[in-house]
Every structure is written in C-alpha cells, then in structure tokens.
Structure 1
Amino acid sequence: MDYETPLFFHVMEYADAADRDVVDMVSGNPDWEPPEALRDGLREYADFDPDRFQYPASEGLSELREEIAARRGVDAAQIVVTNGAGEANYLAMARALERDAGDEILLTDPVYSYYPGKTTMLGGTQRYVAAGAEGQLDPAAVRAAASDETAAIVVNTPNNPTGAVYPAETMRELVAVAEDHDAVLISDEVYDHYDLSGQFASALETESTHRIVTNAVSKSMAVTGLRVGYVIFPPELVADAKSRHMLVNVATTRPGQYAALKAFRETGPDYYERNRELLRERVDTFTDALEAAGAEYTTPQGSFYVMARFDGYPGTLANVERLIDEAGVAGMPGEAFGDSRSEWLRFALVTPRVEEAARRLAAYFD
C-alpha cells in the first residue's frame, strides 16, 4: 500500500532550510496564548503523586468526558478522548468503513489533505464533490454523488482551507443524505471557536444515528502540541472505536487531559472572542494587501486561512518554493488541497508577522 506523506512537511522543511528570513504561514499553529487555566493545570500536575502519571482509562478521564458531554448535549459513554482531532477523524472514518455499508468516502474539493491519506490507509476509495467559489457545499451536489457504496461523507466546518462555514440547513441536509444512503456524516468541527460569521452549526444539532462529530482543544485553546481531542459516536458505533483506540494508542496524555479539563471549566467566552477579534484584524490586513497586489482571494467566514490566486502564478510546489526563496513568505500550494484550487496558494494567519508577509507579497507581485 502506498501511503501519502502530506506536503506540509516538505514545505516546512524547505522554509526552515532557506538562506533568508521567511514568514511562516504554512501550518495552523496559533501564535496566541493558551488559556491561563491550562497552564495552571499543567503546573499543578507536576506536583501530583506518581500514580497520577500512570495509564488513565483508555477512553479518557471520566471527568473530562462528562464535561464534554454536558457541553455538547450527549451521553459521556458516546465520547472517546483521542490524540487530537487527527486520531478522532481516523477513528470516525475507520468505524464508517467497518460497517460494511460501502467503501467510498465522499470528500470535498478543496479538501484538507489528511482526509484522502486516511482514506487510503484504511482501504477506502475517495470520491470528490466540488465546493463553490467561496467554499460553500451544495447538499444537492453531495446527494448526486452519493450511492450505495458511500460509507461516509467527511466535512470540515469552519473549513480548512477555504474558511467556509456551513449553515444549519446545509448540515441538516448532509445528515439526511447520509441517512438515505446508510452512510455516516463525519463532521470535523475543530475550528468551531473561530466562526467569524455567526452561522456555524454543529452536526450535533441534528439528531441522528448517522453522524459522528470530531473536535479538539488544539486550535480553540492554541495548543496543537497538547494532543487532546475527542470524537462523539452514535451509541451503536462507540464500542469498537474504543477498542481500536486502545489497540493503536492505549490512551491519551493524562496531564494534557487534566489541563484541558481545567481550561474548559475556568475559561470564559472572552478568551475566545479576543482570539476571534485578533483573527478578524489579520484577515483585514492580509486581504487588503492581496487586493493591492491584484490577487483574487477568499475572505474566510471562519478558521484562519486565506486562499489567494495571483495571475500567472499557479499554486504548485515549485512556485511555493520560489515564493520562499524570492519573497520570504511560506504558504501552501493549492494543489495540496485538490484539483479545483491548483491555481491558488493557501496562507495561515497564525503569525504576528501577517502585516510584514502582506507587504512582501504585495511588493513581489506588484
């Protein structure tokens, strides 16, 4: 089996090896502070007795699962705490394919490139549904692509890379498509706290046994290295997911779970609003510069990515390397996200140097 190594790693290595100063806009690693309660939780944990550094329950600390369950309106027994949203999506896709209800995974184009790789690794086949110019997904197009071979429909809202946020009607219709084809809607909602539109709707708002929701504290609390995520399964799918999680990972970091729990309990909504406001300012700064450079671009409704198209400069890996060498800005090639955005580049607005990067791009493409 051929595994696909995401281009992220290649671009990051190339930027690190550059002979000049480079503004890194490759990966979605927030540069702002995590909640103070999370830091406090890690400090507290350092002084606990040795038994607290041993294996936790494989499915996650019971207190953390109960906290998540109360917030999301589900039963704690439906939740598996995972090594970030990455493992959550892996478990969700595995369970969808193990149902023997087809081996096809419907993905959007553009797509977060880890989804196709996971599909291949799990023995499934990919089928793509094109998103609109601003990244919105037409449920009618998803319905037209679905068949008896469809095991799962995987969506990400707010979306990476387009910044689209799917409204409640779209989410309801996607669940309905999954139900009609005995498939599972897998909704990756890791950017839910970065909804800039006020339109975000979780798949959990539609009661169904045909939807799985994944999430993590990685983005919302600016701790991508903590590796604490979770997945919410329908009751009939959770037992085997827990077994797979135990066999693959045994358990998730115990100190990290404790810190995440403390942060959930003690972090108010103002923390998340400050980060959204910072992101709004960066979107304005960056898109203003793209406008000045004559680029076509997306204005994100959520998440923290902007896609841009410069005339005569397609989004190839070679052009990304050229931009690093000649402009000192590192983004991602559009071709990494599917055929429909091969002319585009993607930039992550998670650096305090957004304004400097914008100036460099404007000057380079002037």
Structure 2
Amino acid sequence: MGDDAYDEPLFFQVMQYAARADRDVVGMVSGDPDWEPPQALRDGLREYADADSDQFQYPPSEGLRELRAEIAERRNVDPARVVVTNGAGEANYLTMARAMERGSGSEFLLTDPVYPYYPGKATMLGGEATKVPVLESGDPDVAAMREAASPETAAILVNTPNNPTGAVYDRETVEALHDVAAENDALLLVDEVYDHFDFSGDFESALTLDSDRVLVTSGYSKSMAITGFRVGYAVFPEELVPEAKTRHMLVNVATNRPGQVAVLRALRETSPDYYEGTRDMLRERIGSFTDALDAAGAAYTSPRGAFYVLARFEDFPGTLSNVETLIDEAGVAGMPGEAFGDAYADWIRFALVTPRADEAASRLADYFA
C-alpha cells in the first residue's frame, strides 16, 4: 500500500463495510471509548445549559482562560504556551504546520507503524513523510531515525503511549529523539493523547525536557471517553505561539465553548480513581483478549499503554480484503495492518473499546481454530 492510501484513511471505509454486513459484527475498528465519562463532565454540561446567553457566544480563540490555566498548571508550563484546539487532531495539525513554517525542511520523520492521520497531514501541508520501522519492542529505532534525519527534516513526530503498537517510550528514548532533532535543526512533536493509559509506569511527558524544540499535543477524547466533544490542546514554545493561534483562528475561529466548560469542571472534580478504574478494566480486557489470541494460534503485541492489540494470524495477512473476510465470516471488525505502514502490514489492529471484546476474541479463536 503506497502513500496515496493515506489521503483517505481506511477507518471509515472499514466501519461502513461492517455496517452493511448481513450479520452481527463486533466493531473494533476505531478508538471510541465505550465507558462512562466523568460524572463532573455531565454536571458541567447541565450547568452550562442554564448559563446566561452571553456564555453561548464566541469564547477566546485560543481557549477559555480558566481551562488554559488548568492545563498549564497540570503540565507545569506558562498558560501563554497553551492553545485549546478542536481535539488532538487539530493540535497535531497546528504543530506540524509550525514545523513547516520555520523554513528548516519539509520532511516529517515518523515511526512505522504509524497512526495514518500523521502522514496524511504531512501531505496536506505540502511536506513529505518518511516512515522508519520501529524496534521489535515497538520503541522507536533511534539509530535508524538518526540515519534518516537530514537538514530537510522539519520534525520528528511520535506518539506515546503508542497507537497502534501499545509501546510506551521512556524518558531516555524521548530525550534521544530530541537530540536527533536538535542535530538537524528540527522540532520534536510528541502526541501524548493516551497519557492516562500507561500500564507500565514508564511514561514521562516530553515537556519535562524543557526544550524550545519540543511541542506536545493531547486532549480529552480518550481519557474522558468523549471523542465527540473535540477538546484538545497543544503546548508550544513561546516563540511559536502567535502563528499557531492565527492559523487556529483562521481555520476554526475557536473551540466549542460547552465542551471546554464541561472538561474544565471534570478536570477540577474528577478523582484519580476514575482513571485508575479505566486502566484496571482495560488490563482485564487485554488479558482475556490475548488469551483468546493464544487459543487462535496468533502472534500479538502486549500493549504497555493505550488500548490496541496488533495480531498476526498464520497465512492471513492484514490486508483490507482479509479484514472484510473477518467481518463477513467471523463477525469481527478490525483495522488492516497495511493502513499503518509496511512494518506491520501482515497484522490486524483491534481496538479494545467495546464491552464485547471477549465475545470478539471467542469468535476469532473459533474462526482460526
């Protein structure tokens, strides 16, 4: 599958195929959490519904002041560095645009496998995407990244905890990637949207490097189970903020106000127990799902973070055609490995964000038995 395949990611194509199937299908394609959001988030929405009408108007383009201050305190940065965005997706777009606008190259170094929207954004911005295969552990191959980097490299873009491998990069790895970026006058862009889903204890934000080459993105779609709210943010070095705010304003005007109000209340009032409870539930799902993959004779990744499992079935590569066959004949919908690059093209990715994960695992075990 060539780069053109990233022009229109396959997520919706697979979901639409599953929706048209003539049988019951367990959907494990997209990372839409199935668990409850924090109660405080619902409370914030109810409170907002009764607010004065002036609170229904445009918010500050860069985000509500109180929300930016809350994010900044949690991230130990100045609020002036925070831009609230329409999900982590826009945050990534803004950071990639800033990398291009510096005039120091137009190439993005990505891992292989990679979340498909990254190379899609690179192409949309007029840049090039170079994918570097990861190590067997799922961690970036820093030596290979260093070899691939050049004066044409605008940024190294990574995601930790990682979708789709489940790898969690330790501080030494992130610091080494930063050094590669610095050696080539490039930026290091780190998408940390799965930061609440670290099962290893090894995750440490790239912001702790305290470098003017580090840009970090995140959001609340996954951690609060609110993918439809589209509230994310980016943390920029101060000198890169003005142009990012301008682009955000020209493209979106602002981020939705009700979502920001609700997220702010949830941040202030939600106990750490909420997030730990979610991690415990996912640990159980991952364990039972991979047990069933053992029964199916599959190879698989054991995620140290996020909530995806990559599986490889003998003589059944992860092509779109085979994914459609699984939908039709096993009643399970996953994502073809070829959608994420070449390194795991023989694998299929399953998102463990359904209460029917055990049922899906049983179906796969029966199908491949």
Is the counterpart of residue 146 in structure 1 residue 149 in structure 2? Answer: yes
Q: In 2, distance between residues paired with 1:355 and 1:35?
A: 25
1:135 CA displacement: 1.1
In the other structure, the counterpart of 2:19 is 16
The one of 40, 50, 55 aligned to 1:52: 55
C-alpha distance in 1, partners of 2:114/2:247? 25
| 1:208-247 matches, cutoff 5 A | 208-247=211-250
Return the offset for 1:201. Answer: 1.5
Paired residues for 1:45-124 under 5 Å: 45-124=48-127
* Equivalent residue number for residue 277 of structure 1: 280
Q: 1:158 aligns with which of 149, 158, 161?
A: 161
Structure-2 separation of matches of 1:218 and 1:291:
31
Q: Distance in 1 between matches of 2:126 and 2:153?
A: 13
The amino acid across from 2:245 in the alignment is K
Q: 1:330 aligns with which of 319, 328, 333?
A: 333
Asked if the contact 2:6–2:116 (Cα under 8 Å) also holds between the matched residues in 1, the reply is no
Distance 1:150 1:201 in 2: 25
* Aligned-pair Cα RMSD in Å: 1.0
Say whether residues 1:170 and 2:162 are aligned partners. no
Distance 2:208 2:5 in 1: 38
1: CA distance, partners of 2:133 / 2:345: 13
Q: Does 1:196 align with 2:199?
A: yes
Residue 134 of structure 1: how far off its partner (Å): 2.9
2:234 is aligned with what amino acid? V
- 2 CA distance for matches of 1:110 and 1:209? 27
Once residues 177 and 242 of structure 2 are traced to their aligned partners in structure 1, the CA distance between those partners, rounded to angstroms, is 25
Q: Which runs of 5+ in 1 are unaligned?
A: none
Q: State the 1:178 CA deviation.
A: 1.3
Q: Residue 343 of structure 2 aligns to which amino acid in structure 1?
A: S
SS at match of 1:194: coil
Count, aligned residues: 366
Aligned residue type for 1:296: A
CA contact (8 A) 2:68 2:79 kept: yes
Residue 280 of structure 1 and its aligned partner are, at CA, apart by 0.2
Pick aligned residue for 1:303 from 296, 303, 306:
306
SS at the partner of 2:104? coil
Q: Using the aligned pairs only, state the percent identity.
A: 69
- Would you say 1:290 and 2:298 are equivalent positions? no
Quick one: which of 315, 321, 329 aligns to 1:318? 321
Equivalents in 1 of 2:221, 2:139: separation in Å? 24
- Which runs of 4 or more aligned residues in structure 1 lie more than 6 Å from their structure 2 counterparts after TM superposition? none
The one-character-per-residue Cα deviations of 1:188-214 (angstroms, maximum 9, x if unpaired) are 000000001101121101011101000
1:171-196 deviations in whole A, cap 9, x for unaligned?
11111111121101000000000001
Q: Is the 8 A contact 2:6 2:117 kept in 1?
A: no
Distance 2:13 2:129 in 1: 23
CA distance in 1, matches of 2:154, 2:273: 39
CA drift of 1:144 comes to 1.4
Identify which of 30, 35, 40 aligns with 1:32: 35
How far apart are residue 268 of structure 1 and its match? 1.1
Displacement of 1:264 in angstroms is 0.5
Which sections of structure 2, spanning at least 5 residues, go unmatched?
Answer: none
Structure 2 CA distance, aligned partners of 1:225 and 1:186?
24
Q: CA separation in 2, counterparts of 1:243 and 1:38?
A: 29
Name the CA distance, whole Å, in 2 between partners of 1:42 and 1:299.
37
| CA shift for structure 1 position 287 | 0.3
- Please, what TM-score do these two structures have when normalized by structure 2? 0.98
Question: CA 1:15 to 1:68, structure 2 compared with 1: closer, same or farther past 3 Å?
Answer: same
Q: After TM superposition, list the pairs within 5 Å mapping 1:258-277 onto structure 2.
A: 258-277=261-280
d(CA) in 2 for partners of 1:246 and 1:231? 14
The structural deviation recorded for 1:260 is: 0.4
Moved more, 130-139 or 185-194: 130-139
Q: Which amino acid aligns with 2:113?
A: P
Alpha-carbon distance in 2 for matches of 1:205, 1:292: 42
Whole-angstrom CA distance in 2 between matches of 1:88 and 1:182: 22
Cα distance in 2 between the residues matched to 1:155 and 1:281 = 27
Partner of 2:8: 5
The offset of 1:2, in angstroms, is 9.8
